[in-house]
Structure 1
Amino acid sequence: MTAPIDPREPLSAEVRRIAADETSTAVAALETARTDPSEGFHECRKAIKRLRALWRMARAGDEPYCRAQDASLRRAAKLLAGPREATALIETADRLAQVAGDDTEANAVAALRAMLEARRSTLMGSCLHVGPAVAEATALLSKLDFTSMRMPDVPATAADVLEIGVRKGMRRALKALKAAGETGEAEAFHDLRKAVKALSLQARLLKPLMPDAGKRERKAMEAFGERLGELNDLHVMDALLAAEGVDLVGAEATALLRERIATETQKLKRRCLKAGAKHLEHKPAPVARELAARFERRASKARNRQAA
């Protein structure tokens, strides 16, 4: 990941720098994908997530521009979803193998993993899948233009932009946490995962403004996001087995695997809700105001020094 926002520099320049660096990283990862699709697509999607977190945080500075950027990045990410999901399913099978209750269950997981590995090999080895996705995603990313962005650089106004972005991101996460706790539905936990991931990435961007306690909380938030990712993978695996399990591993193994997934899903849901209550306990407005105030103080100090 590129260096975080430097409050001593104009906000517009910092946003352009980060956007350009991350876009270059994403395009380079797509080149890697031509020979190593699994690694290349994964790295590209991570860079795209960082970019989308940036535009969400900066949206109040130039909302039409940031929304357009986010829409293009969302389209690019969707092009790469299939190969990444194929790998995530195998990783999920590996985690299920670690909690298998007996040899029968372990054999069912092994059979499923073998089928998933064969599917991924077919997908990754096919130019019909990889080539067009790489080409189209590269074209979308290469067309991104950062020169037309109008981001404020006056310290107080720039601080307001960041304050709004942080506050909205935290409120989004709190809303998703409430929905996940009330409904228990997969989609609600999926929304929570996306919101927490964005918060973690934005915290990295604002690292110079974080107090020491905030830096520790950022690490904990990242770990929370990982657990939510594992939960989402279990939901995806269960949906796959519900639709194709009988064809993949047979009816008996499918029933056994889905029972295990249900057990692990409930454990992870409880764990995630408990973590969410802890890591999202802070009220958004005071946190956002404090970060914005830190930015404004440092930005104003740098500007005054330059003017002296």
Structure 2
Amino acid sequence: MNMDGDWPLPQPNTLFKVNRRPAESSLSKTSSIASTFSSLAKPVVAEAVQRARGLSTQSDVEGFHQLRVAFRKLRALYWAYSPYLGEEATAQATEEFKRLAAVAGGTRDWDIAGDLLRAAQAAGASIELLVAAACEKRAQAVLHSQSMIKGDDVEAFLNDALLQAQTTLQSRCDDLPIRAFAEKRIRLAQRALQKRSRRAALSETTQEEDLHDVRKAGKKLRYLLEFFQPVIKSGHERTIEELTSVQNKLGQFNDIAASATLIRSASFNEVPPEVVQESLQWLEEQKCRRMRAASRRVRAISGVAEAPDVNRM
């Protein structure tokens, strides 16, 4: 589990007003680079704040998942605008997004692992003790997430981050049009996906790391296409659907691989080692099957990863 130390979120000096109710997109092809950042960031921030506040009274699966997704989207957005935000500012913000996503993800990871263990149990594995222990680990992760992610702190941090970003962008690119910039950033994300998918496809032995890299690159490209669809040329809906399909296959594999790592690294004092080993054996069998399916999907897109070119959209 990727959790950093318990350290407080930075407190802002000035608040950037966040609209809690996501508004309709006001992007157009004549919008400036600076103005589009605010339009794109506000709905995602509103989602993150709402989910973070909900953690104090709820611990539902979807809440943790959507909170992690919101922070991932913010990371993609900051990457897109990084040429004008600057390397240092982008790194500082995205590292905090990554940390918060990891804290929220701790509960989400145990949700996934618990579902897989119950599937193994239904398939005949004698792992009742481990299933119960995983439920306890999930409860502990909820308490950790609730202690680390406070709605007021998250909102204050995001207010400050967006205010600083908006101020920087207004001083550097307030009068520059968005369309050419958006298309350029999307092309860079496409090339990264193409490079990683081909590397995974050409490898004689598929590596988990290669598939994980393809998954991350695909997510970034999909988020950027969704963000910028009002200002780039039309016709990218099929690309988003294809990326989503590939992500589903890669996600199924990643869930099993991550759950095996999580269970292997956890301490289960009340569970006999042979029970843990039985679950890991079942997960390994499932992982091999899912890896083959994911590898086939990556090979299928590797030769046409460059096809969703914004110049042809």
TM-score > 0.5 by shorter chain: yes
User: For 2:32 and 2:122, how far apart are their aligned partners in 1?
Assistant: 57
Which 5+ residue runs of structure 2 have no aligned equivalent?
A: 1-21
- What are the residue-to-residue correspondences of 1:163-202 with 2, within 5 Å? 163-181=183-201, 182=203, 184-202=206-224
Indicate which of 66, 75, 81 corresponds to 1:43. 66
Cα offsets for 1:192-248 (capped at 9, x unmatched): 221111111112123344544x31231231132133223222222212333347646
User: For 2:283 and 2:40, how far apart are their aligned partners in 1?
Assistant: 39
8 Å contact kept, 1:245–1:254 = no
8 Å contact kept, 2:193–2:305 = no
Q: CA deviation at 1:89?
A: 2.9
Pair 1:159–1:152, CA change in 2 (3 A): farther
User: For 1:257 and 1:27, how far apart are their aligned partners in 2?
Assistant: 37
Q: CA deviation at 1:64?
A: 0.4
- What are the residue-to-residue correspondences of 1:145-160 with 2, within 5 Å? 145=163, 146-149=166-169, 150-151=172-173, 153-155=175-177, 158-160=178-180
User: For 2:67 and 2:91, how far apart are their aligned partners in 1?
Assistant: 15
Read off the aligned partner of 2:173 and give its amino acid letter: M
Structure having the larger proportion of residues in helix: 1
User: For 2:305 and 2:174, how far apart are their aligned partners in 1?
Assistant: 26
Q: CA deviation at 1:169?
A: 0.8
- What are the residue-to-residue correspondences of 1:123-272 with 2, within 5 Å? 123-125=141-143, 129-134=145-150, 136-144=153-161, 145=163, 146-149=166-169, 150-151=172-173, 153-155=175-177, 158-181=178-201, 182=203, 184-208=206-230, 209=232, 211-212=234-235, 214-244=236-266, 247=269, 249-272=271-294
Paired residue total: 281
Q: CA deviation at 1:25?
A: 2.3
User: For 1:102 and 1:123, how far apart are their aligned partners in 2?
Assistant: 27
TM-score (norm 1): 0.77
% of aligned pairs identical? Answer: 19
Pair 1:98–1:71, CA change in 2 (3 A): same
Pair 1:227–1:131, CA change in 2 (3 A): same
SS of structure 2 residue aligned to 1:148: helix
Read off the aligned partner of 1:59 and give its amino acid letter: S
Give the alignment's Cα RMSD to 1 decimal.
3.1
Moved more, 279-288 or 18-27: 279-288
Read off the aligned partner of 1:111 and give its amino acid letter: L
Which 5+ residue runs of structure 1 have no aligned equivalent?
A: 292-308
Read off the aligned partner of 2:112 and give its amino acid letter: E
